[in-house]
């Protein structure tokens, strides 16, 4: 007999099915609740709401577990590169060597932008935030690839996914070059995915930029660690938009917009800006911690806390080790890293943070790595978007493939004015 939950409301008792996930997480299936009781549920911020059944990523925030398709993130990060990880996340299984070669070729084939798309960069002011450019240009891909709009066609999906993974790097690097007034650097087919991105970012006609292999690996690692993170704000956005049967490009573009906010992907930029501010003003660690705790201040320790992880963020552990390695390889002493380490130590020993289960998240160290590599601060979230591309694509596909899919359409509880006349409302303004 399968488990049920009993709810009594308005004098009526109903039994609802309980769904059990692979890792024994339980969820009360409320699909029939409104029909049976007239009630809906209220969950501001969705902290208790499972919005979908998913096979992609498992997170246990209490114990700090993150798995892509069942495999622990530490193992994926150690043994795979970003493209293999992307294929695992999107397709649900590792590729064969032949599949990998074919997909890599498709990535190479698609690395250029249509020339008309390239000239669009001129239309943006050089001061434009690269996240604004990224979201606009990814959406513009819908205009340049109109043959990929048939969302239920698997061959089209495969091509659109490769285009997105490949071109997102080119768009990102072109937006950076445009912002600093340097000529755009085209990708070269012989370079690997991440090396090619660094090449487009830092090569100029007057330099012989060759990325250090350790730097390439650190950035590849960063992409792997960001590849998916189940139903976060941007991924839920992609699914929400995709549920209306919008095409992959425009759905992912909406995800990029959602990622931009500083409570989500914008946090890595906010961490760096916070550390720079502390350094510039010479603030003591004690005063920063005190400000976080001050109820009259809305200051938060950026890069700390997570809606899901209440123990530690497994990605932060891996990134912290990579951060130390890159800095020592590049011979960079970074005062911001020292501040970050002191802040981390102070917070982890402070009851305010301990009681609220606030630990460093992935953004705390990723910004320092990117800074050491030479990535400008306003590009940090763009790099997060490159890394998150497999997760957005996989989640869009999962929504598309759901045989019971309906358009996402939450309800609300109306708390506004009760019915009143037009004249009454006008009188309120005049008084
Ligand atoms: N610094 C200081 N206090 C904090 C922090 C922080 N970084 N994060 C949470 N708190 C406090 C809150 O003030 C609140 O305290 P209270 O109970 O006394 O009111 C309590 O901890 C719970 O905070 P919520 O905002 O309810 O936690 P929520 O789960 O909604 O937020 C979030 C999670 C947005 C990540 C939050 O911790 C935060 O703002 N962190 C800083 C921004 C950041 O690093 N974001 C990156 C997230 S990871 C990612 O997107 C890849």
pTM recorded for the entire structure: 0.91
Q: What 3 state SS string does 284-340 have?
A: CHHHHHHHHHCCCCCCCCCCECCCCCCCCCHHHHHHHHHHHHHHHHCCCCCHHHHHH
Q: What is the pLDDT of residues 128-168, one digit of tens each?
A: 999 999 999 999 999 999 999 988 999 999 999 999 999 99
Average pLDDT over residues 11-15: 95
Compute the distance from residue 63 Cα to the ligand 1 centre, in Å: 18
Q: What is the predicted pLDDT for the residue at 324?
A: 80
Distance CA 372, CA 383 (A): 14
Coil vs helix vs strand at 13: strand
Atom from ligand 1 closest to the CA of residue 313: 48
Q: What is the predicted pLDDT for the residue at 76?
A: 98
CA 293 to each of CA 274, 309, 389: distance values in angstroms, whole numbers, following the listed order: 16, 20, 36
* Averaged confidence pLDDT in the chain: 94
Whether the pLDDT of residue 180 is over 80: the answer is yes
CA angle 326, 176, 388 (to 5 degrees): 65
Distance CA 309, CA 48 (A): 14
Q: What is the predicted pLDDT for the residue at 254?
A: 98
| Nearest CA-CA partner of 229 in 308, 310, 138 | 308
| Biggest CA pair distance of the chain | 78
Coil vs helix vs strand at 4: strand
Bridge partners of residue 26, in order along the sequence:
20
* Residue with more model confidence, 258 or 319: 258
Q: Which residue bears the tokens 């909406």?
A: 254
Q: For the CA atoms of 207, 378, 271, 336, what is the dihedral angle to 10 degrees?
A: 30
pLDDT-based confidence at residue 320 (cuts at 50, 70, 90) = confident
Compute the distance from residue 136 Cα to the ligand 1 centre, in Å: 29
Residues known to be catalytic: 306, 363
Q: Give CA 125 to chain center in angstroms.
A: 26
Q: What is the predicted pLDDT for the residue at 332?
A: 76
pLDDT-based confidence at residue 2 (cuts at 50, 70, 90) = confident
Compute the distance from residue 268 Cα to the ligand 1 centre, in Å: 14
Which residues 6+ apart lie within 8 Å of 184 measured at CB? 118, 121, 173, 174, 177, 178, 200
Q: What is the pLDDT of residues 373-428, one digit of tens each?
A: 999 999 999 999 999 999 999 999 999 999 998 999 999 999 999 999 999 999 98
Q: What is the pLDDT of residues 190-202, one digit of tens each?
A: 999 999 999 999 9
Compute the distance from residue 121 Cα to the ligand 1 centre, in Å: 36
Distance CA 145, CA 137 (A): 12
Average pLDDT over residues 92-121: 96
Q: Which helix (H) or strand (E) holds 5?
A: strand 4-9
Kindly report the protein residue whose alpha carbon is nearest to atom 30 of ligand 1. 307
Radius of gyration of the chain (CA): 24
Q: What is the predicted pLDDT for the residue at 1?
A: 63
Q: Is the CB of 307 under 6 A from ligand 1?
A: yes
| Nearest CA-CA partner of 362 in 318, 301, 300, 321 | 318
End-to-end CA distance of the chain: 64
Atom from ligand 1 closest to the CA of residue 303: 44
Going by the DSSP 8-state scheme, the letter that residue 153 receives in this structure is -
Whether the pLDDT of residue 3 is over 90: the answer is yes
Q: Is the CB of 279 under 6 A from ligand 1?
A: no
Average pLDDT over residues 27-56: 96
Q: Which of 236, 262, 298, 305 should be mutated for ligand 1, with most atoms under 8 A from CB?
A: 305
* Residue with more model confidence, 267 or 106: 106
Q: What is the pLDDT of residues 67-98, one digit of tens each?
A: 999 999 999 999 999 999 999 999 999 999 99
Region of 24 please: left (phi>0), alpha (psi -120 to 50) or beta. Answer: left
- Render the burial of 67-105: b for 16+ CB within 10 Å, e for the rest: bbbebebeebbeebbbbbbbbbbbbeeebeeeeeeebbe
Q: Phi and psi dihedrals of 100, rounded to 5?
A: -65, -45
User: Over pLDDT 70: what percentage of the chain?
Assistant: 100
Average pLDDT over residues 220-225: 96
Distance CA 179, CA 174 (A): 8
CA 73 to each of CA 78, 106, 207, 316: distance values in angstroms, whole numbers, following the listed order: 8, 26, 37, 11
Q: What is the predicted pLDDT for the residue at 330?
A: 85
């Amino acid at each position: 007999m399968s488990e049920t939950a009993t709810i009594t409301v308005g004098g009526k008792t109903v039994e609802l099915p309980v769904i059990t996930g692979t890792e024994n997480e339980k969820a009360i299936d409320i699909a029939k609740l409104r029909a049976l009781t007239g009630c809906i549920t209220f969950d501001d911020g969705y902290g208790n709401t499972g919005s979908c059944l998913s096979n992609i990523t498992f997170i246990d925030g209490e114990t700090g577990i993150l798995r892509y398709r069942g495999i622990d993130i530490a193992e994926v990060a150690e043994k795979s590169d970003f493209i293999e990880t992307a294929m695992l996340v999107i397709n649900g299984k590792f590729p064969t060597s032949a599949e990998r070669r074919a997909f890599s070729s498709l990535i190479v084939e698609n690395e250029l932008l249509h020339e008309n798309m390239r000239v669009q960069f001129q239309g943006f002011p050089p001061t434009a935030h690269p996240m604004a450019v990224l979201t606009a240009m990814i959406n513009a891909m819908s205009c340049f690839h109109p043959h990929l709009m048939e969302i239920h066609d698997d061959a089209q999906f495969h091509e659109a996914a490769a285009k997105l993974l490949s071109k997102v790097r080119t768009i990102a690097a072109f937006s950076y070059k445009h912002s600093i007034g340097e000529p755009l650097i085209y990708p070269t087919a012989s370079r690997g995915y991440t090396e090619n991105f660094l090449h487009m970012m830092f090569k100029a006609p007057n330099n012989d930029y060759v990325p250090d292999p350790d730097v390439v690996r650190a950035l590849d690692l960063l992409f792997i660690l960001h590849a998916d993170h189940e139903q976060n704000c941007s991924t839920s956005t992609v699914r929400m938009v995709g549920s209306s049967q919008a095409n992959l490009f425009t759905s992912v573009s909406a995800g990029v917009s959602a990622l931009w906010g500083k409570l989500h992907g914008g946090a890595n930029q906010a961490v760096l800006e916070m550390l720079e501010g502390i350094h510039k003003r010479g603030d003591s660690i004690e005063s920063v911690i005190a400000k976080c705790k001050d109820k009259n201040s809305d200051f938060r320790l950026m890069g700390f806390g997570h809606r899901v992880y209440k123990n530690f963020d497994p990605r932060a552990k891996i990134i912290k080790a990579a951060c130390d390695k890159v800095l020592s390889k590049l011979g960079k002493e970074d005062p911001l890293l020292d501040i970050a380490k002191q802040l981390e130590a102070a917070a982890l020993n402070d009851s305010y943070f301990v009681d609220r289960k606030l630990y460093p998240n992935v953004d705390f160290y990723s910004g320092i790595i990117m800074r050491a590599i030479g990535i400008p601060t306003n590009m940090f979230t763009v790099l997060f978007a490159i890394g998150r591309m497999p997760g957005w694509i996989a989640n869009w596909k999962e929504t598309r493939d759901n045989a019971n899919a309906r358009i996402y359409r939450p309800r609300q509880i109306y708390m506004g004015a009760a019915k009143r006349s037009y004249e009454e409302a006008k009188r309120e303004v005049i008084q």
